[in-house]
Amino acid sequence: MSTAELDLLIRTRRDLHRHPELGFQEHRTAAIVAERLRAAGYEVKTGVAETGVVGTLRGAGAGPTLLLRADMDALPIEEECAHDFASTHAGVMHACGHDAHVAIGLAVAERLARTRGEWGGTVRYVFQPAEEGGGGALRMVEEGVLDGVDAALGLHVWLGMESGVVGVVPGPFMASAGTFEITLRGRGGHGALPHETIDAVLVGSQVVVALQSIVSRNVSPLESAVVSVGTFRAGGAQNVIADTARLTGTVRAFDVDACAELPRRIERVVAGVCSALGAEYGFGYVQDTPPTINDPALAEAVRLAAEEAVGAERVRTDPDVRTMASEDFGEFLLRVPGCYFFVGARNEARGAVHPHHSPRFDVCEDALPVAVDVLERAARRVLGGR
Ligand SMILES: [Zn+2]
Ligand SMILES: [Zn+2]
């Protein structure tokens, strides 16, 4: 990468880092993206899914339509990093690396524009709002960004791997995420007269324990799933038996069938416990994101691109690269073949060790030019030559 290109890449990332914006509020970010894409020769559409930007560029010959995606949103976190480009917006921080994704995306978009005489097909560069729980990907799908798309590629800078290492795995790559809410209704009463009550704390406790059997006894040992109870609220006084309890939690899975089956299993466990103890229940479930599942042929294209860019010894394809974290790029991959991959950004010497969503999160910036190289090469492989 030339010094000028690297300088622009890092400056862009730091500028975005200083000015983080929450989901569907990425106005400044979107304006920067739209201006740079227009200047590079893209046909630009703004206001897609509120603050999203889509740039389209045709190559020199026939070929597929390739969607490339960068997410733009920050998180409601107060930054604790000491570097001189820390957030200037109180309570908002790029704590997942989406600032890097936008900077990388613009660099790749500009490279593809400079080389448009050498590749065929069409690039649709999607800068997406609200990845962090806002459903931005699905909104963009509903507004037609996948129309005519043959393949999709995206990446995440990743603190789970050393800076500059690339991780790409065919098949399931990141898990689905769903949220459940269980309300339990017993019969409250005096803490000294339990025989006259149905204790919602006891019912809730039995539910928490019984839910552990789903992953250990219903899910195949060869599959991966998580059922975690995150909150358990009940009672208001030490000498009163609680009338109601409310539990919420998260469900993760790699498999589309498991995603559909897990909420049914959870409800069956809750119903069984309540029936045994004489309590009533309410059950709600929201599927937040589908699993992110990579197409084998496109994962292979990314692997080859990564080997060219960084050498085979810095490309990981083992299953440990995968994570039960979720990512709404899965919405695209549910509908078109594609590949999502990680570019390691961990660097102990530079203090880039804190996990995603930590107030001290930072990325090793050496990962950014690597990500640009790999994504551009992967895109060129998919688009084909003239
Ligand atoms: Zn995140
Ligand atoms: Zn993220």
Task: Identify the CATH number of the domain in which residue 247 sits.
Answer: 3.30.70.360
Q: 217-274 pLDDT, tens per residue?
A: 888 888 889 999 999 999 999 999 999 999 999 999 998 888 889 999 999 999 999 9
Query: Residue range 315-319: average pLDDT?
Result: 96
How high does pLDDT run on average in the chain?
A: 96
Secondary-structure percent of the chain, ordered helix, strand, coil, rounded to 5: 35, 30, 35
How much is the pTM? Answer: 0.91
Q: 151-182 pLDDT, tens per residue?
A: 999 999 999 999 999 999 999 999 999 999 99
Q: What is the pLDDT of residue 385?
A: 74
Q: 24-58 pLDDT, tens per residue?
A: 999 999 999 999 999 999 999 999 999 999 999 99
Structure-block tokens of residue 89 = 């917006």
Query: Residue range 116-122: average pLDDT?
Result: 96
In the listed set 289, 316, 332, which residue is the last one of a domain according to the structure? 289
Strand partners, 177: 252, 289
Are residues 372 and 255 part of one domain?
Answer: no
Out of 21, 50, 71, 73, the active site residue is 73
Q: What is the pLDDT of residue 84?
A: 94
Q: Is 150 a catalytic residue?
A: no
Full domain range(s) for residue 136: 3-173+291-383
Q: What is the pLDDT of residue 218?
A: 85
pLDDT band at 104 (very low <50, low <70, confident <90, very high): very high
Dist. CA 341 → ligand 1 center (Å): 15
List helix spans (H) across 183-326. Answer: 200-213, 256-277, 296-310
Instruction: Quote the number of domains for the chain.
Output: 2
pLDDT band at 386 (very low <50, low <70, confident <90, very high): low
Query: Residue range 69-93: average pLDDT?
Result: 97
Contact 345, 100 (CB under 8 A): yes
In the listed set 289, 320, 336, which residue is the last one of a domain according to the structure? 289
Are residues 229 and 139 part of one domain?
Answer: no
Q: What is the pLDDT of residue 295?
A: 98
Dist. CA 356 → ligand 1 center (Å): 6
Q: Which of 271, 24, 229 is nearest to 136 (CA)?
A: 24
Are residues 185 and 119 part of one domain?
Answer: no
Are residues 156 and 10 part of one domain?
Answer: yes
Could you give the percent of the chain with pLDDT greater than 90? 94
Out of 26, 71, 79, 131, the active site residue is 131
Q: Which of 161, 180, 158 is nearest to 327 (CA)?
A: 158
Contact 90, 149 (CB under 8 A): no
Q: Is 131 a catalytic residue?
A: yes
